[in-house]
Chains A and B, each alone.
Chain A
Amino acid sequence: MSKLKTLSIVAIAAVALSSCGGGNKAAHSEEAGESALSGSISIDGSSTVYPVTEAVSEEFREVAPEVKVTVGVSGTGGGFKKFSRGEIDISDASRSIKQKEITMCEENHIKYVELAVAYDGLAVIVNPGNDWVDHFTVEELKKLWEPAAQGTIMKWSQIREGWPDEEVHLFGPGTASGTYDYFAEAICGKKVGTRGDYTASEDDNVLVQGISRDKFGLGFFGLAYFEENADKLKLVGVDNGSGVVKPSLETVGNGTYAPLSRPIFIYVSDKGAAKPQVKEFVSFYLEQAALLSAEVGYIPLPKEETAKQVSAFENFCGN
């Protein structure tokens, strides 16, 4: 009995000590700011930006092996929530910060800078076994996804005449996702949202699984996830009134794939940028973004645009 007690006290003490130790070490390196970087960088946010950030952090490991980079995926909204509480250094975002989130940052005295890192297109996807869809018009997408469609537009034949009289099974990101916000705004209009009776998941793999195994499935998510799974899915072009356009490097980069293309961002907090490892990481990120974003299926920013982001970050650090 007493033996057990001593043992547990030792265990508790050990845990407490080790956690203190970690804290001290991080604080120490902040003060020192040596060229051999150490410490940690915590990043969270959009699942759409995740592949780029993950690729950059892998490369960064080779430059600064002592720095521990953790990248979470809790959706753009989830990321901003942690960001505004000062829990993370960098927030991945697939849309701009919302007024509500700006207010939260102000309340907690968090200053930040928005840096665009690449472009992304939203892909509208069906099952490869779907042989009737050639393209969607923006109106058709609106008719299918707007809130009024809930419980009424249930069959393919209701979207366009001649399509099968079968139930359409919808898949899409959940409401915490920036991709959802973007799609809802681009297709259905500001602040109305979409219908709610579809399979909603923050995990893009769930959507890929769902659509690839369902002949009557239809969904949307970031173009990069389509490219990773191109063999299991069918990409559908969208007609915005000036012809059918399929998302690609070219059409997203030059803006013809409208309204479903957008920039993706990282947000860096002032407290984060004060840490040398974070500052170095962000500079590295902007430097590598063009190359690495293309590698994971996104569309790189033009050079002059990248230069703007670099100077924006330098200004931010300067103040």
Chain B
Amino acid sequence: MKIREKIIEALLKVSALVTVLTTLGIILVLSVQSFSFFQEVSILDFVTDTEWTPLFAQKHFGIMPLLSGTLIVTFIAIGFALPVGLSIAVYLNEFAPKKFKNIIKPILELLAAVPTVVYGFFALTVVTPFLQTIYPDLGGFNALSAGLVMGIMIIPFISSLSEDALSAVPKSLREASYGMGSTRFQTAFKVTVPAASSGIVVSVILAISRAIGETMIVAIAAGQQPRLTLDPTVPIETITAYIVQVSLGDVPHGSLEYKTIFAAGITLFIFTFILNNISFYIKKKYQEKYE
């Protein structure tokens, strides 16, 4: 019996270690390959050059165009998902009948279960043609439609997590607000939302980090042309889409071109790592405790 306990314990430990070691392994591979990349390309060039053409005869290794592509798509996605997701969360928590909420919440979460390649084709074949009927000069590949569809994809991140945060606000606060004569609307936006703000901010940061790392939607619908721009109507390329492009192509292993994907990868990793840590910090520091 005792031996069995020990075996089980060991197995549990191993499974925990596997995830930790995988993370460490990824960081190690990214760092080693990027290190040898940065021996050939200066970091200064990497962050200041405004062109990214490592696969062509005239090579430039400026990450800015890929970064601007990533950020513009993320910005559009959050700009769309935050108001919609938050409204949904407030509606579900404050206004919707409980029965309705119990039905609608799992359905909303289904949005996150749709394979992202499907979202990509949805963006390319439905959303872009639709937007072109409004704005005919829109490119066939563009950041706008990819961003909007990515926004749809991350709505459940924001709505579900925010709703959890809202419903964790104790009843007493809400009742006190009603007792002071507030309407439901006032209670929602002046009392519950501020009280749950740390949880809402965390949900948004997680959504941003998801959006930055999203690959298929942008690889399909946003184009494959790195360019430093804030114009959402033209084809762009994100960091993730570039990594896909090179991984699928026939760049020789070990070449400088091949190492660019690790340099791009570590840039991406640094961003999401920082964001996750900020969200962790906010959760710890600002979570209001009502007991």
Contact = CB atoms under 8 A, between A and B. Distances in A.
A169 B60 contact: no
Contact of B56 (A195, A212, A215): A195
B140 interface: yes
B55 A174 contact: yes
A216 interface: yes
B223 interface: yes
Interface stretch (B100-108, B178-186, B205-213, B245-253): B245-253
Interface in B128-144: 128-129, 132, 136-137, 139-141
A169 B52 CA distance: 17
A200 B225 contact: yes
B172 interface: no
B224 A197 contact: no
A51 interface: no
A147, A169, A201, A214 interface centre (most CB from chain B within 10 Å): A214
A116 to B, nearest CB: 23
B250 A77 contact: yes
Nearest to A75: B250
A192 B56 CA distance: 9
Contacts of B177: none
Contact of A197 (B53, B129, B248): B53
Contacts of B137: 166, 215-216
B259 interface: no
Given A75-B250, A169-B139, A213 B132 contact: yes
A115 B269 CA distance: 47
Nearest to B229: A167
Nearest to A210: B140
Residues of A in contact with B, size category: 35 or more
B173 to A, nearest CB: 51
Contacts of A81: 250, 252
Contacts of A199: 141, 223-225, 235
Contacts of B248: 202
B250 A198 contact: no
A236 interface: no
Contact of A193 (B57, B224, B225): B57
A48 interface: no
A149 to B, nearest CB: 11
Contact of A147 (B58, B124, B140, B250): B58
A175 interface: yes
B51 A150 contact: yes
A318 interface: no
A215 to B, nearest CB: 7
Nearest to B237: A199
Nearest to B139: A214
Given A75-B249, A169-B235, A193 B140 contact: no
A214 B51 contact: no
B139 A217 contact: yes
9 contacts: A176-B249, A195-B56, A200-B55, A200-B225, A200-B245, A201-B224, A209-B141, A213-B140, A214-B139
Interface of B: 51-53, 55-58, 60, 124, 128-129, 132, 136-137, 139-141, 223-227, 234-235, 245, 248-252
Which 5 residue pairs spanning A and B have beta carbons closest together? A196-B53, A213-B140, A193-B57, A78-B250, A196-B56
Given A199-B141, A200-B245, 14 more contacts: A75-B249, A147-B58, A169-B234, A174-B55, A175-B56, A196-B53, A196-B60, A197-B225, A197-B227, A198-B225, A213-B140, A214-B140, A214-B141, A216-B137
